[in-house]
Each structure stands twice: as C-alpha cells, then as structure tokens.
Structure 1
C-alpha cells in the first residue's frame, strides 16, 4: 500500500502552479535583508527553485545598489556547481564564463565580467586561504547546507567570523532543503549579536506515492533491487532514479539488470562522482528513451535528472567515518536519515505525479534518525586544523562552530600534524607546514610530496600525489609497484585495457598538483641517484610514520602496526615474492578486529626516524618459569622491531615485578616458615609483647626478600626465618619459644616435635609406652592450650587421639590394652600406666 507525499491537488491545479517558481514568493524579503546588511537563512525544499532563483536575485540587488564584487555560490558537489551555473547562463542567453561562471577542481569558467561564481566548498576554502578578506566578494551563498559536510561547517564559521570582525558589508545567505533554520539563526545572532533573517519557502511538488518493501537481512542488494525497479518502470512513464550506496553496488546492480528482461526502450546509465563531466552530463541530460539512472547520493539534492517519475531507494549511503583512536578513516555503509529519504522520494515528483519504492519496511522507517549526523562529528580534522593554523588560529575551539568538533578528534588531528612537522608543540604552523597548507592535498600527501621533490622529478612527484589522492586507475595491476605506476603514467606506457579518460583525469589532477609544488628540481647528490622504488617508499614513510608494520614470522599475511593495531592482507597488498619483514602500509581499512591492508611497500630500518628508534631493556614475568625475564628490544615508537634475551639486572624493577607476582602465592619459605608464622601468631594472641604478623607486615617482609632476587625458587630458599625474627625482635622470639615450643619433653627424657598447622590445634605424635607415668595432658601458651596427643601403637599407627590424657588412662586405655596385648604380646602393657616407667621400645623387661 502506498503512502502519498506532497499536496493533494489535482494535476490541472499543479500544472497551473508550475508556471511560477515558489522561491519567487520570498525573493523580495530576501533582497530587502541583503540590502539591509542582514544574513539570511532560507529553507526551501527541492523543486522550489532556490539554487537557480536566489543568486540572480542577489545579483540584481547588488546591481540596483551599484555594489561591486562577485557572488560566490558554494555547492558541496562539482556536478551541481557546473550544471546549475550552465543552466542559469543559458537562461540569460549567455555563454558560461560571462556573467555566470564556475570554478571546480580541474575545471574553471570565469572571466573579468563574471559576477556570479559557482564553486565547490573545497575550492572556496582554498581561495579563501589566498584571499582571507574576500576582497572582491560581495556575498557568499552556502547552498545545500543541510548536508552538513565538514567543509560547509568550516565555510560558515570562517565567513561568519569575517563578517563579524572585518567585513560587515559581506552578504551571507545560508540555504537548506530540509534543515530547520532556527538553530542557524540562533548561531548567527548569538555569536556576534547580528540580526539574521529567517525565511521559509513552500515547495512545489506533485504527489508521490511511497511503497515500502520487506526487511531481508543477508540478501544481496543487487537481487533486492530488480523487482522494485521493474515495478517502477511499470507504474510510471518517465525515467527511474535508483539510489545506491556506492560505485561497487552500482556496478553489481547494473550487471544484474543486464541479465533480466527490461523493456526495449529502457537503457541503464550510471551517475557518480568518479565519472567525467561528459559522462555525468549524459546521465542528467533529457532523453527520449526511458532511462534507469543508477546513482549515488550525488543526485539527492541540487542535481536534477529531468523526466524522473519514479525513485527506487536502497536507503543506504557510504559515509566516511574517522576513528580518531586508530587514526584511520573508513567508509561505512549506513542507513540514511528520514530527511534524506524524503529528499530522494521527492525527486519523483518534480515534473509529474510519481512513485517511490523503498527497500525497507514501514516499521524500519520509524527507527531511522531524523537528520544526518554532521560530518564534523565523525571526520578527520587534520586539514581543518592545518588550514586554520595557516590563518594564525592555533585553538580550534576558539572558532565559533555551529556544531563544536569532538575534543579527541581535535587532539588526534593536532598530534598527526605535529608528527608530520606541520605545526609545533604550541600549535603554530611551521615553515614546512605553510608549504603543505598551500597544496591542494591532505596533510599526509602534502608531506609526502615535500619529501619526494628531493629525489624525484616534479612531474613524477605530482603523479605520485595524484595516485595517492584520487582513485587509482591502475589498481587492478597488482604486479605493478607504486613506482611502476608513476613511471607508466609519466611515460605513456599504460596498458590499453585501462580507461583513457581515467588516465587523462589523473594527469589533469597531477598538473594542478605540480603547479603547487615547491620550486626546484632534485639535486645531484645521493637523493637524486636514489632508486625510484626506494624514493617512493621513503616519501611514503615521511607521510605515514605511524603505519609502519612488522610482519609476523609465523603468519606472513599478518602483522602488527605502530600503535598495537593488528593488520592482515599483507601478501596480496605486496604482491608475490616480497618477503621483507618491515613494511609501510599506507592504505589501510580501519574496520574489523584487524585492519585490512590494501597497499604496502617494503622499507628498511635505517630509513626510520632516529628519534623514534630506541634500544631498551624490558623486564616481564615468565609464569611458566616463575621468574623475571629480561629482553633487549629495539623499538620504533611502541613497535618492537627485534628483541634478544638479556641478563636480569636485579634492580628495583626486577624486585617490583617479582613482588607483584609472588604476593599472590604467599606464604613462601616452605613448611618450616609457615609453622614459624603460626607459632608467632598463636603467641601474639595471648601475649601483647609478641607482635602479630599481619598481612601488611608479611607483604613488607616479602618486599624486602625480593631485593636482589628474580625468581620464586630464590624466594623459597631465602632466609625467611632470620628476617621475620629480625622483624619481631629477640625478646619476643624468646617468649615464642617458651610459650609455643618446637618440642616437648616426654617422661622418659626424650623430646618430640610439636606440630603447628593453621586451622588445627597443635599436636604431638608419640607411642603409648613413652607416655607411661605422664598423668596430665601437656599444655602450652601459658597453660591455655592443651596439646592434642596422637597416641601410637607399636606399629606407629594412631590408636587414640585425645586432648585429655588423664581421661584416656582412666577409661579408654583399659579397652585398648586388651587388644594391644593380644596383637603385641612381647610388649609391656601394665595395668597401671601411671606407675609404670616410660619405655622407648615398649618391650617387657627381663
């Protein structure tokens, strides 16, 4: 069952309303606000005409007031910037580059007469670096702000600060399709007490029926997409726009559609950011044939595919997410927000009533977030920190942000830039950092180029940087090293199977990079004579010093990276026959329990930064041996490059490790020492002059015994008794010997040992004949504790255990005597044991 989106007006009424763009209702108040010097925050849904209507209206305001300067319209995507600029130029019967122009990466149409200049956010920030006051700019328009990219947030913060502090004449318009205007207005007014104006424009759209699918976890996306695409073709007469997460999914769905029967008048085209401008234009150009357009979210906002009457939405998008703790960025396929889902569905109702098919269920719809998470909360901030440092801003939090960046992400970015030598400890940009900031590259790649220019030609360095920054057209050539790829592109030796356009695009990027490189060619020294593979590897090492990996000897496909992260996929990343142990993994996926390596090069230990290489001795506990062991380690950061056994030094660290592991096995010192402790404890309970051996005293004693020793075996054979007696003192020891003696004397003069075991009463073992003439049970501890007597027969086995010897003689002895006389007739068994003399062997006297 479908859900109707959009107005419920008749088609005739819709056709009448289509003669006038909804944005025209707010252009007059917008022009008044601009004329009064107010910032404007405009919310207008797709189809209202804001992108094509607002810039000309602002231009007219400037012309009416004789205000010089350009209007910069900032778009998140290159395709949108080019296509909108071209449309407005044609609507004015002008060529692009006259009044209306654009400036995107690798493509610029601008002249001295250009007044409205469309550009990408990245290009805006780069031009602002060279012209921080925007001296020739009269107004900045930030379009599609609801996308909340990191660059858009930065552009807003920097433009607003410029307006507030130095350029109160600079106009500012923030336009959003779905985001509410109130938070932005509050931000603009709160930070510098300005009067920002909020405007809202109703959209113009035909009704769209939304159809929900069923949740099918585990089912491949290409198989799930076929049925709703067929349904969309049957239920509508125009083009079908299909939203997919990424290029990989587009290719798989395209392949799947080729295997099924689609109507003869339907052709499949693709639309994504990696295509050439010509290919992108082909996808959005009006066509008599019906098209199934397989697109990423590039077609979600400003880009309009004319003639679309049906949308099929996977409900997913690929989002870069930076893990600041691992220092790695990974693309995550995530569910889109409700706002994005509505935007996508709305694309079906731009020119006629439409149909929208969603792959997820209506129940799953309720669990989606209302808006997308701002990119500033999940992105690598190193480029932002470097750019602000180049403007003299050392404290990222001093900037007023619509959404403040996370503290840990800022710290991670600053740590990376310090590691690359781009900023100093105080956050100020260094001379090398200034050079890096002027390059249109990520700080890592910029650092790589500054290293490579000393050993490679500028053209090679530029191609290397382009390969690292852009999609690698030779990524399937697994047998080629990175240096081989640079050489093949530079010298036109690229295999014919590789797309000529992709190589041409890469060369264009390389040329842009080459113009930003520091002046000069490599010298004539050792660096200039360096092998190309070595030069590339060393340049990469300067950019990724935190991606050094030591291969595992027992599993060559896996290794450990600086920082402790495990990696896998080394064999494929390096290619067959590469067996080196020390590697640099410069392309790593941050996902999973281990990071998957996509590209790596072998490196040499002598290339590593000497300040990060240390030789240390480490001590650790060997549980199997019950001893401290020592290893001599050569480390790079926290990565152990190699280690060998070393003699245990027996220092404070040794004693500490031994103590930490031995205290869990107390008491040590053997049975005699345990008996000694028990005797002291028993006496201490009845005599205050004898200190109790508390747990704290015992631990302190152990700590002393660990000094100069390294194993449990040494501890067990240590003179524990001497140390404990030294602890309690000589006089206390005398009392212990008197009150808890080691031996007691029997009536016949012999002595027997007293047994002391914790949890049991003290006892002696003695033959019955040796106790003749002994009337009472012997006592210790000042008579408070009777000794337990284990009375033995001639065979040494207990016949009776008693605490009351007198009672034994008076009652039990007679019964035992009968049995013992029968079994041992040669032994003496007197009727009156108290009057008999003790006998060692117990035999009858002759």
Structure 2
C-alpha cells in the first residue's frame, strides 16, 4: 500500500497473493487505520511501515506512547511480541512478572522493551514536551495497548449467556478459562483467542488465552475505525419500526427507537415480504375468497384472468399493492390493510363483469337457500366444492358447471349433523345408485329427517319431518 499498489495489484508477482489471506490482512490494516477504504496507505500507515514490528504492535507502540509514554508503551508491546503466556489469560499479571524478573522470559522482554523504547522515544518526547510517561493503573495501560493493537478483538461480556461469554468486535464469541482472574469484567481487550471445546470455552468453541480489562471509553477510542451508527428498520408484528443502532464492530453499544424514513420503511417491508410472503400482511377471509376464485379462472381460462400465485403477486407488487406498501412503509399497521381492494385492481375489464356468473360465491340449491361455494387453494388444482346437507338437494339432477362450462362443481353431501355422507360431481348418478345405501344407513339414525325412496320427486328441504 505504501508503494502505491494496494493488495499487490499491478505488481509483477511470481504468483497471485492468496485472496482469503489478503482480504484478512487488508481488514486488519483498515481496523488499525493504516489504509483507507480503497486500500491506500494513510498517514498512520506511512508511520507504521517505518517501525520494524508487526503492524498491529507498531500501531500500539506509536499511539500508546503518546498516551502512556515511551517506556510503558515499549514494555507492553514487548510483552505482546514475546513468547510468554499468561496464567488464566491475565496479561496484567504477566506484565508484573516480566518486570520483576519472575518470568523466564524477563531478560528477552527487557532487551526488546529497550529497543522499542528507543524507536519511539523521540516522537513521544515531541508529543509530550517532556518525554515523561503518565502513570495510569497497570490494568488500564495494558488494556489500552492491547485494544490499540487488536481493535477487532475488543470484547464485551454477553449479558445472560451461560458462563463467561464475550462477543468480540469481529463477531466471534469466546469464553474465559474457568480459573481466569478476568472473569466478571464487562469489557476486555483480547490479544489471543483460539479454538477450544468443553467448559473452557463456555460453549462458544473459542477460548480467550490472553487479555486485559478495558474501560468502554478506551474501547471506543482504540477501535474508532470500527464505530458505526445506522438506522435499522424492520417490519414485524404487522408494523414497521426502526432503531438507531450504534455499534463497535459486531458489538451493539446502544439502540434508540426512531421514526423510520420512507426508504428505510420500504426496504423493511420488502425484506419481510421476500422472507415471509404476503402472509406478512395477512389475508382477510374476503380477500382469500376472491384470490381463490381468480386462481381458478386463471388456471382454467388463462389470460386475461391474472396469475395470483405468490410468486406472481410478489413480482408485481407495485402494480397492485403500491399505495398500501407506501402506507406500511410510513408506519401503518397491516391490521388496517385489507388485500381485497388491492386484488380488485387486478381484475380484467370488461371480462370482470362476468365474474359472478363464471365463479359465483354462492349458488341457489333446490331447498331455496343460497349456499357458499368453497374454491380450492391457489396452488391446488382441485375442483370447487359445495358442502351441503343432502336433504336440500332432493330433485337436483344436473350437476352445475362453472368457469364457462370448463369445471364441474363437486358436492360434499352432508348428514343432518353436518358429517360427510358422499362426494360426487354427478348428482344424477348418485340419486340413481349410492343414495339407496346412504338412505338405508341414515334413516334409523336420523328418523326426524326425510329419507324418501324417490329423491327425484321429494321436495328439497332444510326442515325436519315434524316441521314440514
């Protein structure tokens, strides 16, 4: 990036850089402010490249020396670069052991700390004017330095989670070792995390091997490149709601209810419809009935009767549901929206004038009552059904045809108690044959209802014998 070839693009390399590793590396550089969104080196990046150290540690050393002074920053950086591993993951304790000479790596630590101090001491003196370091608490100093080096590993304890679980800014969840003195801290700056199983990982699959306590304000300052704030709108429980969410990487810092802007509301409704279909709004009984009738006409007669399947309706939302979508995006509740009127916008004219004739909602039966026809589900190619008590149909010989004679009405003939006795789409055949068996079985069970030997001439009725 400092050569002006971000990601090595444009360089005559023997072989291409591994894409996954390159992507991870550029993400790290952006997180520490070394490159911008286009991968070009920033002023910070040009400073870091002059420090003979891992870029993460170089960033901590340079920025940390401005806060803590050259000596403290150099010591903590030397600790992070060394091979010593902290007991229980506590880097504050490890630093104390290295400084006191109790750790086997103390000699190498002291030598590296002096080298790093010489690298940054001039800049630290120029920044402070004195060159003397500040004296924050050791835990705060270590946490600050670790967060500067590994901003993507700043971690917050997960409230309510089993065990000591932490969510890292990178999105990873990790647990602390059972014996770790860091347990109980709300924020940690994590230097090392690795895969693990069992109780050590608190059910997360990863365990924190090295970390230090951190204050929330230090986390935000060190990982400022990861701070975002956006408005998230969702369409849930029949209404668009929105919240302004402030995040540090994957860690949610705050969430405040806000009024969604129209584009955000429209996007939320679109996402809900894409995921849940039109059930996200809901079908009233009348809208569902109209849709079923239209579906039968489209299946049997074809255009201009519209396709009202779910995919077709979703593909043409703006054409039939535009005003309602705007209302929902603006905060209207789906409970106040009936899809009946929007569906009517799909009716083809002048053909729609014959809809009641082609697919009537009700049909007059011989007893003189209007009975409702049940049309099949939109994706069901079954026939329309008339569920009606058998006695209401005496004398009815011709099974009705619907949709311009293209489909036959199917009868579900019911007992006086509303239980099915027979299914047929040919009444004439039923009266001439199976009816005799039904009569023999039912006349003793329902003696107050008529079961004539000749159903052709018997008057159709909804009454019992005692009331005729």
3-state secondary structure, aligned to 1:465? helix
Q: CA deviation at 1:809?
A: 4.5
CA–CA separation in structure 1 for the residues paired with 2:446 and 2:22: 93
- Equivalent in the alignment of 1:568: 175
What is the distance in 1 between the residues matched to 2:45 and 2:60? 12
Aligned counterpart, 1:681: 295
What secondary structure sits across from 2:465 in the alignment?
Answer: coil
Report deviation, 1:738: 0.5
Label 1:682 to 1:603 Cα distance change in 2 as closer, same or farther (>3 A): same
Asked if residue 509 in structure 1 is aligned to residue 123 in structure 2, the reply is: no
CA contact (8 A) 2:32 2:149 kept: yes
1:639 match = 251
In the alignment, which of 561, 564, 579 is matched to residue 184 of structure 2? 579
CA gap of 1:393–1:659, structure 2 versus 1, over 3 A, is closer
Does residue 540 of structure 1 match 2:154? no
2:52 aligned partner? 440
For residues 823 and 480 of structure 1, the distance between their equivalents in structure 2, rounded to whole angstroms, comes to 87
Give 3-state SS (helix, strand or coil) of 2:312's partner: helix
Counterparts of 1:747-826 in structure 2 under 5 Å? 747-757=366-376, 758-792=380-414, 794=416, 796-810=418-432
Q: Is the 8 A contact 1:792 1:800 kept in 2?
A: yes
Give the whole-Å Cα distance in 2 for the aligned partners of 1:681 and 1:393.
Answer: 60
Residue by residue over 1:81-108, the C-alpha shift from the partner in whole angstroms, topping out at 9 and shown as x without a partner, is xxxxxxxxxxxxxxxxxxxxxxxxxxxx
The structure-2 alpha-carbon separation of the partners of 1:482 and 1:734, relative to structure 1 and needing over 3 Å to count, comes to same
How far the C-alpha of 1:675 sits from its partner, in A, is 3.7
What is the distance in 1 between the residues matched to 2:302 and 2:34? Answer: 73
> Aligned to 2:164, which of 557, 562, 569?
557
Matched residue count: 441
Shift in alpha-carbon separation, 1:690–1:406, aligned structure 2, 3 A: closer
**Contact 1:558-1:570 within 8 A present in 2 as well:** no
Alpha-carbon separation, structure 2, partners of 1:718 and 1:844: 48
How far 1:651 sits from its partner (Å)? 0.9
- The corresponding residue for 1:237 is none
Distance 2:26 2:309 in 1: 52
Alignment of 1:167-566 (within 5 A): 389=2, 396=8, 405-422=17-34, 432-472=44-84, 475=86, 481=92, 485=96, 489=99, 494=100, 497-498=102-103, 502-519=105-122, 521=125, 523=128, 529=134, 531-533=136-138, 534-553=140-159, 554-555=161-162, 557-566=164-173
Deviations along 1:145-199, one digit per CA (max 9) or x if unpaired, are xxxxxxxxxxxxxxxxxxxxxxxxxxxxxxxxxxxxxxxxxxxxxxxxxxxxxxx
Residues 3-23 of structure 1: CA deviation (Å, up to 9, x unaligned): xxxxxxxxxxxxxxxxxxxxx
- Equivalent in the alignment of 1:605: 216
- For the residue of structure 2 that corresponds to 1:653, the secondary structure is helix
Taking a change above 3 Å as real, the CA distance of residues 594 and 809 of structure 1, as seen in their structure-2 partners, is closer
- Check 1:833–1:539 CA distance in 2 against 1; reply closer, same or farther (3 A cut): closer
Native 8 Å contact 2:277 2:310 kept in 1: no
Structure 2: runs of 5 or more not aligned: 198-203
Residue range with higher mean Cα deviation, 813-822 or 634-643: 813-822
Counterpart Cα distance in 2 of 1:825 and 1:419: 86
TM score, norm. by length of structure 1: 0.44
Shift of 1:737: 0.8
Cα root mean square deviation, aligned: 4.4
1:766-824 per-position Cα deviation (integer Å, ceiling 9, x unaligned):
44544445443333333444433444555555555443334444556567667777666
Q: Answer yes or no: is the 8 Å Cα contact 1:462–1:510 preserved in 2.
A: yes
- Secondary structure of 1:579's match? coil
Find the aligned partners of 1:450 and 1:552 in 2 and give their Cα distance.
31
2:312 to 697, 701, 716: 697
Q: Structure 1 unaligned runs (5+)?
A: 1-384
1:381-407 deviation per Cα after TM superposition (whole angstroms, max 9, x unaligned): xxxx7xxx4x78767466666666434
1:745 aligns with 2:368: no
Superposed displacement of residue 447, structure 1 = 1.9
Sort the Cα spacing of 1:547 and 1:414 in 2 relative to 1 into closer, same or farther, 3 A. same
Larger Rg belongs to: 1
